[in-house]
Structures are given as structure tokens and as C-alpha cells.
Amino acid sequence: MATRKRRSNGEGTIFLDKSRGRWIALISLPDGRRKKASALTQKEARLKLVEMLADLENHGAVFDQRSRFQELSSLWRAKVVEAKVMAPKTREMKRWALDRLDSLLGDVKLVDLNAERIEGAFEAMAAEGLSRESLNKIKSVLNQLCVFGERRGLLRKNPVSIVELPGNLPERKPQRSLTVDQATTLLKASSGDRLHALWATMLMLGLRPGQETALQWDAVDLDILVLHVRKNLRKVDTVFELSDELKTKRSRRSLDIPPPLVEALRSHRDYQDLERKQAGPAWSTDWDGLVFTSLTGTPLDPSNVRRDFSRLTEAAGLGHWSPNELRHTAVSLLSAEGVPLEQIADVMGHKGTQMTSQVYRHLVTPSIGAATGPMDELFG
């Protein structure tokens, strides 16, 4: 029979389990579960209780040799995924990845979490049909989680750095960008389009579609020629949401407006004023201030933006293109003009140059001439 030594609420309990001849330290967790540790003496049990209370205070959970992956996953989900500012799509992706990881690794003890177990989980996901792109996203989330655990002393070492994804996975669809000639053709073809300024802004400043359609006139200063990226627009089911949550902290930025874009935006503002007058009472007052709207002043539907842009590029003889590829084009054209990657990353709102270089930059010239001038000076 167990003899308990009661303590006040929030301090936990130690008691003697006479049937086992062991002292037990017991603590109640915020989620309603209980955590216990056993010891030979009352003094040892009291020390373990103190350790568990310290864990609860410092980490929001209690970890020991029996702690499992799902406990660390739950802690990271609460303290990072649900608590920090991030774009809604990013949060949804992290939740999805955590659910996948929990289903395969949830019961694995943290002390047993190693590359082999993780690779086994990825092989199972690959067998389900997940693509290389999806597995890379899950691996990135797992790495963030393990870095979090390692920094807090909950993992001895982050094993993700040596994890290899299964072989023979289908590669992601190659990304692309418009060449200089194609971009010029596009701007000429769209010059009479009511959304010409939208396409020009995405092409010249590389804004994401949701950032572009969220622009408000008070964030576009055509006097000092600066555009502020502060909001994101998304459509959930049939409801539009204008949010301050951007993809990353670096997404919040202020950009100088190139001269050709200044004229496009001024013309667009004048034309929007005319549309508002023509629409009369039909013009929506719920979204006053949006730079790019429908003919009745409501937000642009993402599917309509994609369809209209594809029609424009098809009519211009460029084939099918998506608005997001204008962001790739902006990076590629700036790089081709010799703009340093660090500066391009700042324009795009990237944290560093890796994403800019490996994902968004593409060759937009028929040949690479970086060696021509230096070699001519050296050996010509």
C-alpha cells in the first residue's frame, strides 16, 4: 500500500509505495496527465520531484529517460507553431508535418531517436506516395523541432543532419523564370490590361501573390517612391482574410519603387478612381484602400488572378505561366544584371541567400559570360 506525503497544490507529491518498497515522486502536468519517478530513498524522491518541477517551469513539460517523441513534438507545437507569428500557410504546413511525424515516431523514446529510426519513418512516408518535395518539408520541420529540443537539453544531439531521404524519389517540377525578352513582351502585352500594375509590381519587386493583392494605398508612397510590404491576403473557403501575418519576419520590408513601376501605379490609381465612380453604390466599402481589386472594389480572388495571368501570357505568345513565377523572374533578372545575392535576398524578404540562390534564381541568358571579362584582362 502506498503512503503519500501531501504537498500544496502545484508542488507535486512524494509517497512510499510499500508494495514495491520504492519512494515515488508524482507531479500533475498542465494537460491533465501525471508524471512520476521512483527512488530508493525519500531524499532521492524529493530531488527527483524538484527536478520535475524545474522541468515544468523551464520547459512547460517534464522529460526523463522514458520521454517520447510526441512529448517533445507537443511542446514545440505549443511554444512555436501555435505561439509565434507566421504565415497561415506556414503554420498549416508545420501542423501537417508534425501530424505525419507523430504518427510514425510518436512512441519512440527521445533517447532512442536516431537517424536510422527517422529514415525508417521517411521510407514509410515514401511508400505512401509522398513526393521528395513533401519529404523535404517534413525533414525541415523535424530539424527545427530537434534543434529546439537540443537547445533545451531534451535531446543529446540533433540526428536530422545525417538523415538521408529514400532514393529514387520523383524530383520536384523544375522552376523557371521569364527571360528579359519574355518579360519585355509581357509588359507590352499587359499595357492595356486593367491589372497591368499588378503584373508589373510582381515582376519588378518580386512580391508574393498574397502580399501583392493585400497592398493598400497607404502602404504605397508615390511621393517618396517607397512601397511597404506589411500584409497578406488569403481566401479561406469563401471568406477573404487580410492579415498582418507574413511568411517570415524578413517578409515585412520597405522597397524602393523602380521608375517604370511608379508610372504604372499612378495610372492604376487614376483608373481605379474612374472605376469607383462608374460602379457607384455597387463599389464595396468593406475593402476601402486596396490597391488591386475587382470591378466592384472587392479583393481579387486568387483563382481569378491565376486564370487572368495565364490568359495574358497565352495571348502574348509566351504559353502558360503562373503569377508566382514572376517572383522567380524578379530574382533571375536582378541576378543577371549583377545585383549581389545579399541585396536580392533583402528585396525578396529571404532570411539568407540560400533560398534566393537555390530555389528562385534561374538562368535567363543563353550563355554564361561571367568569365569573359576577367579572363580577357588576364590573358588577352
Catalytically annotated residue among 68, 139, 208, 328: 208
Catalytically annotated residue among 152, 360, 361, 362: 360
Catalytically annotated residue among 247, 253, 268, 361: 247
What distance, in Å, lies between the first and last C-alpha atoms of the chain?
94
CB atoms within 10 A of CB 340: 11
CA nearest to 111, candidates 62, 61, 60, 154: 154
CA–CA dist 170, 115 (Å, integer) = 22
Q: Is 208 a catalytic residue?
A: yes
CA–CA dist 332, 270 (Å, integer) = 31
Three-class SS state of 248: coil
Catalytically annotated residue among 35, 77, 234, 327: 327
For 228-244, give one letter per residue: b (16+ CB within 10 A) or e.
ebbbbbbeeeeebebee
Catalytically annotated residue among 139, 152, 231, 350: 350
For 5-41, give one letter per residue: b (16+ CB within 10 A) or e.
eeeeeeebbbbbeeeeebbbbbbeeeeeeebbbebee
Q: Is 327 a catalytic residue?
A: yes
Q: Is 247 a catalytic residue?
A: yes
Which residues form the catalytic set?
208, 247, 327, 350, 360
